[in-house]
């Protein structure tokens, strides 16, 4: 039964900790540099430890780091490797901290890197959408309400709408970055330490914007950080899921508005004419799963009081792998958008003629006819089969078919991206790893 209990309590923690290995090493580098500054390590001990940790960091970065059988977690594995190489010196790295603040800082360093990758991939997709929007700004397509043909839209509007949605999603990623980029190291088990720790020093060494000041709150941030980051991921996933749904629908023969790249579709085992939009269907499903992530995290941590509880371990299992799924979806979406072909002859089909009815109502109203009378006249013309659409439309207001405001949307996106402190973080990590 002892083995069963161990299997139950450890769960997938060793597997999940592999995501955190290089970040655990980074946190340790900063921590021991600070310990030397307050007299808990000698200069020689620090240099030996840093050299050994840099070797472990390279192993982790290359994917060769392993947590051995019988070793509880990534923190114990790193300490074991140091002790094997350096003896008792390796045991000194744990002074002034707990596995609680170790995992907190590991998670924050991991999330920082993942958010940076999400920002870069979102930016790539954003620019693909803007480029397509500009390319096809004059190509009209039906706009729908209630899945009924409604009014004229354009591919410029359709692509541009998703670009602007990503600009809003970027605001959520920025909020997640700001909450993440605060240093919990030094909070120990949640109540600080009697050692005279210099928390500002580790904050600077790791490139954090500030620290989580109150040590109890630093521990309360476990789960809360993941939940807030998950909300930003869910927002981004929501945009991708909707884009994927539209593309799957518009790719179908009933619509025929666009054509997806052949390599992103698959055939049927019995129907030779089929090209199923599998990549976007899987994107939709994966993104819908990611939209449930905040609730998964919330239900694990929501009814816990302050302090650490083992429940929080389970958050790793749903949270850490979700970044790879979302990044894959962003890559796939950018690939497809870049290669997507647009049908520029949609309006040749008379089934879309009635979408110009509002244009005619507005033309009559502009020429002096009361709007309600114009509405009634056009309705009767349609009913009697006498409606002839004028497909030459002229929309001028901001955000309309004739005035997409794509430059303003690009400025909005760039302004948000410029607020991420990526360079500061990169420089801090470079100094720790290479000195």
CA distance 363 to 371: 10
Q: Which residues of 57-80 are buried (b: 16+ CB within 10 A; e: fewer)?
A: bebbeeeebebeeebebbbbbbbe
Are 271 and 324 in a shared domain? yes
Q: Is residue 400 part of a domain?
A: no
Quick check: helix, strand or coil at residue 400? strand
The torsion region of residue 59 among left (phi > 0), alpha (psi -120 to 50) and beta comes to: alpha
Are 54 and 162 in a shared domain? no
The whole-number pLDDT of residue 268 equals: 65
| Set 210, 268, 306, 366: catalytic member | 268
Q: Is residue 354 part of a domain?
A: no
Q: Is residue 283 part of a domain?
A: yes
Domain boundary among 346, 377, 392: 346
Question: Model's pTM, two decimal places?
Answer: 0.94
Q: Residue 284, Cβ neighbours under 10 Å: how many?
A: 21
CA distance 100 to 276: 48
CATH of the domain at 22: 1.10.275.10
- Tokens representing 44 are 């020689």
| Set 37, 98, 127, 146: catalytic member | 146
Domain boundary among 296, 328, 346: 346
The whole-number pLDDT of residue 331 equals: 97
The whole-number pLDDT of residue 308 equals: 87
CA distance 42 to 69: 33
CATH of the domain at 318: 1.20.200.10
> Number of folded domains in the chain?
2
Are 75 and 158 in a shared domain? no
The whole-number pLDDT of residue 275 equals: 81
Residues of the chain with pLDDT under 70: 1, 268-269, 272, 274
CA distance 340 to 159: 11
Are 276 and 237 in a shared domain? yes
Instruction: With CA atoms as reference, report the closest residue to 231 among 280, 312, 274, 174.
Output: 174
Q: Which domain holds residue 69?
A: 2-94
- pLDDT for 277-332, tens place per residue? 899 999 999 999 999 999 999 999 988 898 888 889 999 999 999 999 999 999 99
Q: Is residue 164 part of a domain?
A: yes
Are 51 and 179 in a shared domain? no
CA distance 369 to 87: 92
The whole-number pLDDT of residue 269 equals: 67
Are 140 and 76 in a shared domain? no
Catalytic, 268? Answer: yes
Q: Is residue 41 part of a domain?
A: yes
> Which pairing describes strands 182-183 and 210-211: parallel, antiparallel, or unpaired?
parallel
Quick check: helix, strand or coil at residue 30? helix
Does an H or E element contain 152, and which?
A: strand 148-154
The whole-number pLDDT of residue 43 equals: 97
Instruction: With CA atoms as reference, report the closest residue to 408 among 155, 42, 133.
Output: 133
Catalytic, 146? Answer: yes
Are 128 and 50 in a shared domain? no
């Amino acid at each position: 039964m002892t083995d069963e209990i161990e299997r139950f309590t450890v769960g997938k923690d060793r597997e999940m900790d592999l995501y955190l290995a290089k970040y655990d090493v980074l946190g340790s580098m900063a921590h021991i540099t600070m310990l030397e500054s307050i007299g808990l390590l000698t200069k020689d001990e620090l240099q030996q430890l840093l050299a050994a940790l840099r070797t472990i960091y390279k192993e982790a970065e290359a994917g060769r780091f392993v947590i051995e059988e019988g070793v509880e977690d990534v923190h114990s594995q790193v300490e074991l490797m140091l002790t094997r190489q350096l003896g008792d010196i390796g045991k000194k790295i744990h002074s002034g901290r707990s596995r609680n603040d170790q995992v907190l800082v590991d998670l924050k360093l991991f999330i920082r890197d993942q958010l940076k990758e999400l920002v870069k991939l979102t930016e790539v997709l954003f620019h693909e959408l803007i480029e397509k929007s500009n390319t096809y700004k004059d190509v009209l397509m039906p706009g729908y309400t209630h899945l009924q043909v409604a009014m004229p839209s354009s591919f410029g509007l359709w692509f541009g709408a998703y670009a602007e949605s990503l600009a809003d999603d970027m605001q959520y990623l920025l909020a997640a970055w700001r909450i993440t980029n605060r240093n919990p190291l030094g909070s120990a088990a949640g109540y600080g330490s009697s050692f005279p720790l210099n928390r500002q020093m580790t904050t600077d060494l790791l490139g954090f914007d500030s620290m989580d000041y109150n040590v109890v709150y630093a521990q309360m941030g476990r789960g809360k950080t993941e939940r807030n980051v998950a909300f930003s991921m869910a927002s981004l996933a929501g945009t991708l899921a909707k884009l994927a749904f539209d593309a799957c629908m518009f790719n179908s023969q009933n619509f025929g508005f666009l054509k997806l790249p052949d390599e992103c579709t698959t055939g049927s085992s019995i129907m030779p004419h089929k090209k199923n939009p599998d990549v976007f269907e899987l994107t939709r499903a994966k993104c819908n799963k990611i939209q449930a992530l905040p609730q998964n995290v919330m239900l694990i941590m929501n009814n816990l009081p302050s302090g650490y509880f083992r429940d929080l371990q389970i958050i790793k299992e749903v949270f850490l792998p979700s970044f790879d799924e979302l990044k894959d979806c962003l890559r796939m979406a950018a690939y497809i958008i870049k290669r997507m072909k647009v049908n520029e002859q949609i309006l040749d089909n008379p089934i879309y003629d009635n979408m110009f009815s509002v244009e005619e109502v507005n033309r009559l109203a502009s020429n002096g006819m009361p709007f309600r009378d114009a509405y009634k006249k056009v309705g009767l013309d349609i009913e009697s089969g006498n409606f002839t659409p004028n497909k030459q439309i002229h929309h001028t207001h901001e955000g309309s078919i004739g005035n997409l405001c794509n430059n303003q949307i690009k400025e909005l996106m760039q302004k948000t991206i410029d607020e991420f402190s990526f360079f500061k973080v990169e420089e801090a990590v470079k100094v720790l790893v290479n000195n």
